[in-house]
Amino acid sequence: MLSFNIFAQNDSIVIDSTSLNQIVFDSAANQEILVGFCNKEGLRNFPEITESFNKEYENYETYTEFLIQYRDSLLKFKIIIVMGTWCGDSRREVPRFYKIMDELNIPEDNITLICVDRSKKAGIIDLEDYYVELVPTFIFMKGNVELGRIIEAPSETLEADIGQIISH
């Protein structure tokens, strides 16, 4: 069994491994998409985005030296990512975000990845309290308090936006 936290609501959900990285067919887009709880490995292995994930991850030049000063603070955060495997912005920003987290050695346990369909539904997961209108949305939580979010694309760079959120 795998355990995931919905950090903002402080609820714990236990799911079995068959519920992770669920693939559904999106008839409107005529393609398969991931829905519900996912993880980085699931994205990497999902045929619809494997190539773009790996390309963005490998080619992104991080500025982790900027964030290294915030690493200890970042470890105290839980980050919820809401993305769509059908979304170009998600396909670009999420692999880049994971590369930054990997270079900073932030455990994947600090990150909850939720994939949605085009109507921003995530299967059985209720996202109503998160007010997600655009994807990807990166929500930075400290305890049960949201301290900031990056919506769709960073204002400056992912590193600069993360630094601004966690330094307040």
State yes or no: pLDDT of 15 exceeds 80: no
Q: Taking CA 164 as the corner, what is the angle to CA 159 and CA 165, rounded to the nearest 5 degrees? A: 100
Q: What is the mean pLDDT of residues 137-152?
A: 96
Cβ contact 117:84 at 8 Å: yes
Amino acid at 17: S
Q: CB under 8 Å, gap of 24 or more: what pairs does 118-121 form?
A: 118/26, 118/28, 118/29, 118/84, 118/86, 120/82, 121/35
Pick the CATH number of 2-166 from 3.30.230.10, 3.40.30.10, 1.10.287.110, 3.30.365.10: 3.40.30.10
State yes or no: pLDDT of 9 exceeds 70: no
Q: What is the mean pLDDT of residues 119-146?
A: 94
Q: Provide the pLDDT confidence category of residue 29 given band limits of 50, 70 and 90.
A: confident
Query: In this predicted model, what pLDDT tens digit does every residue of 48-99 receive, in sequence order?
Result: 999 999 999 999 999 878 888 889 999 999 999 999 999 999 999 999 999 9
**Which pair of structure tokens corresponds to residue 138?**
């990166």
State yes or no: pLDDT of 13 exceeds 60: no
**What is the Rg, in whole angstroms, of the alpha carbon atoms belonging to the chain?**
15
DSSP H/E element including 89? helix 88-103
Cβ contact 113:29 at 8 Å: no
State yes or no: pLDDT of 12 exceeds 80: no
pLDDT for 36 equals 97
pLDDT for 37 equals 97
Burial of 60 from C-beta contacts in 10 A (0-12 / 13-18 / 19+): middle
Query: In this predicted model, what pLDDT tens digit does every residue of 97-122 receive, in sequence order?
Result: 999 999 999 999 999 999 999 999 99
State yes or no: pLDDT of 18 exceeds 70: no
pLDDT for 53 equals 97
d(CA 74, CA 11): 21
Of residues 106 and 3, more confidence is placed in 106
